[in-house]
Amino acid sequence: MDNKKLAELLFPTIDKTPEDYEKIFPERGLPEGAMVTRLGPSPTGFMHLGNLYGAFVDERLAHQSGGTFFLRIEDTDDKRYVEGAVELIINSLDFFGIRFDEGASVTGDIGDYGPYTQSERAAIYQCFAKKLVSEGKAYPCFLTEEEIGQIREKQEAAKEMPGIYGEYAACRNWTYEQVEEAVKAGVPYVIRLKSDGVCTQNAGEEGETEGRRIRVYDAIRGILDMPENFMDTVILKRTGIPTYHFAHVVDDHLMRTTHVVRGAEWLPSLPIHVELFEKLGWELPVFCHTAQLMKIDEETGMKRKLSKRKDPELSLTYYRDQGYHPAAVREYLLTILNSNYEEWRLANPDLPVDEFKFTTEKMSNSGALFDLDKLNDVSKDALLRVPAAELYDFLKKWAAEFAPEYSFMFDDKDYMLKILDLGRNDQKPRKDFVYARQIVQFISYFFDETFKIEDEIPAEVPAEDVGKILAAYLDTYDHSDDNSQWFDKIRTIATDLGYAAKPKDFKKHPEDYKGHVGHVSTVIRIALMGRAQSPDVWTIQQIMGEEMTRRRISGYMN
């Protein structure tokens, strides 16, 4: 067979050569050790936590090493292209502080290694498919869906590996004339890799032989030892559009990617990619197969993969909608990405997160456990590092976009700043804030629009005492009292009405008192804030002001 002639027959319009592309996309000339990484999402209009998780690894590796991180839109599968998907990808990652240096953007491509959208690269893929055909390393396959189905049935019946390989690769040895006739007749065909691998798994128990294996370095998993590929995998579909396998190999070579960070679901096809890199004569990039994101199922208590249907937290919009601060999410992702991160954070509570040296070696290669409760804990600490003014801007923006019914809270900025800083600068700061939707609830008592009575008067206080406590409180209230003067007055009210001035007195002699000063102040708390628990009451009153304080107390009495 004259393979060159075959290649011309199949790809008559491809006039560029592989050497042309090597020149158009030369080595990047970055300093030693600089990493080039990419994110390759499909434009499906859904951004999930896995995308962010991978993007975070890419971003850190590239930017820590002075390299380049680019965005490639992988739209070769038949999944529907959703309008505005590129914008969604870029914006949702940008929110979490993840920025691309190069690649697809809302205003078009940025950089010299494009086009960065796979559907615009058809001529490039075909050029390299042509090269493989011309060297006898790939061939056209005319098998119909029906024929492939029959082959599969036969293989299933004989308990053999399903697929097109070896004797099942019916078009492997077609003559030029056969191909020419079919092409001229318009019979549709795909291009398959002509694998050098040998299937040894069908030999039966007796004759079963160990097949050849490949060894590939993975920066997260170490040396991988896997069976070689032996499938004549499709590299170009009937439409001339590549499969993921071929697009990945061609793109990551020509875009000079040094580190391929992708999910563990791609591990089983790694041998195909290795064979393709070899057949094209190219060096392998460093693979980094990240662990699957798992969670503990609430019902079964077992680890399982996050699911789009069951777990709203899989979608990145969930975090925007709930109003998680990006710093908190970044911080949390690091705790699941690098096993030594938490230790570093404990030793460096105030350093910016990007000072942490992220490494692939410290990444887990079994499932990475995602846990919303843990995120919430991390968020409480992370928010303490966000100054009130910044938190104000963040919450205001969040409310405008996701909860306009709370926008009124931001009208009086000075008031809001005091509320946000309440108890946050103490020796042992309060950790009341988790995410925006929770924060606006937490501080709702500061506003008449959202104030409501949520808790009940303590059982120790009889109904007829409530009015007496509040009346005495109003009578003696002086807004200029300091914290201790104010509390002395509450003690006096308590003892006058038969409550112990100190909780421990009540504990010792419960028969002598109705309750203690804490129960009395809870009554005041409930009148003021509608809640039995809250930060320091005196401080809250100072923020609310005298008028609101008096109005709340008398409001509860009526």
Identify any residues that bridge with 142 across adjacent strands, giving them in sequence order. Answer: none
Q: Which residues contact 397 (CB under 8 A, 6 or more apart)?
A: none
41 in contact with ligand GLU (CB under 6 A): yes
Task: Name the minimum Å distance from CB 84 to ligand GLU.
Answer: 18
User: Regarding beta strands 190-193 and 138-141, do their DSSP bridges make them parallel or antiparallel, or are they unpaired?
Assistant: antiparallel
Sequence-ordered alpha helix ranges (H) in 352-511: 372-384, 388-402, 413-421, 436-442, 463-476, 483-496, 503-508
Q: Which amino acid is at 473?
A: Y
According to CB under 6 A, which one of 40, 67, 114, 140 is a site residue for ligand GLU? 40
Cβ of residue 308: shortest distance to ligand GLU, in angstroms? 14
**Contact residues for 523 (Cβ-Cβ < 8 A; gap 6+):** 457, 458, 461, 465, 466, 469, 470
- Closest approach, Cβ 93 to ligand GLU, in A, equals 14
Site for ligand GLU in 294-353 (CB under 6 A): none
Choose between 51 and 534: whose C-beta lies nearer to ligand GLU: 51
Cα separations in angstroms, 311 against 298, 314, 510: 11, 6, 50
Using a 10 angstrom Cβ sphere, with 0-12 exposed, 13-18 middle and 19 or more buried, the burial of residue 557 is middle
Region near ligand GLU per CB under 6 A, out of 35-43, 393-401, 468-476, 527-535:
35-43
Q: 90 vs 470, which CB is nearer to ligand GLU? A: 90
Size of the site for ligand GLU (CB under 6 A): 6
Question: Of the ranges 37-45, 97-105, 402-410, 472-480, which one interacts with ligand GLU (CB under 6 A)?
Answer: 37-45
- CA-based torsion, 236, 237, 239, 242: positive or negative: negative
Is 262 a binder of ligand GLU (CB under 6 A)?
yes
Pick 250 or 524: Cβ nearer ligand GLU: 250
Closest CB 169 distance from ligand GLU, rounded Å: 26
Among 59, 74, 232, 311, contact with ligand GLU (rule: CB under 6 A): 74
Nearer CB in complex with ligand GLU: 229/522: 229
CA distance 64 to 51: 20
Alpha carbons 292 and 295: distance in angstroms, whole number: 10
Tokens of 161: 């590996």
Cα 383 from Cα 324, distance rounded (Å) = 10
Give the side-chain half-sphere CA count within 13 A for 522: 19
Compare residues 41 and 67 and give the one whose CB is closer to ligand GLU: 41
The piece of 36-44, 204-212, 391-399, 413-421 that touches ligand GLU (CB under 6 A) is: 36-44
Residue 255 vs 524, nearer CB to ligand GLU: 255
Work out how close the CB of 544 gets to ligand GLU at its nearest, in angstroms, rounded to a whole number. Answer: 51
Q: How far is the CB of 352 from ligand GLU (least distance, A)?
A: 28
Nearer to ligand GLU, 137 or 248 (CB): 248
Token readout for 513 is 């008192």
The sheet carrying 303-305 orders its strands as 303-305, 293-296, 368-369
Minimal distance, residue 262 CB to ligand GLU, in Å = 4
Query: Which residues in 499-528 contact ligand GLU (CB under 6 A)?
Result: none
- Residue 38 or 131 having the CB closest to ligand GLU: 38
CA distances from 150 to 117, 165, 168, 288, 401 (A): 36, 14, 11, 38, 55
Selected range binding ligand GLU among 38-46, 125-133, 196-204, 362-370, rule: CB under 6 A:
38-46
Q: Is 248 in the site for ligand GLU (CB under 6 A)?
A: yes
Indicate whether 42 belongs to the interface with ligand GLU (CB under 6 A).
yes
By CB under 6 A, tell whether 289 contacts ligand GLU.
no
- Site residues for ligand GLU, 201-240, by CB under 6 A, read none
Residue type, 493: I
**Residue number with CB closer to ligand GLU (121 or 262):** 262
> Beta-carbon neighbour count of residue 108 at 10 Å?
9
Residues that bind ligand GLU (CB under 6 A): 40-42, 74, 248, 262
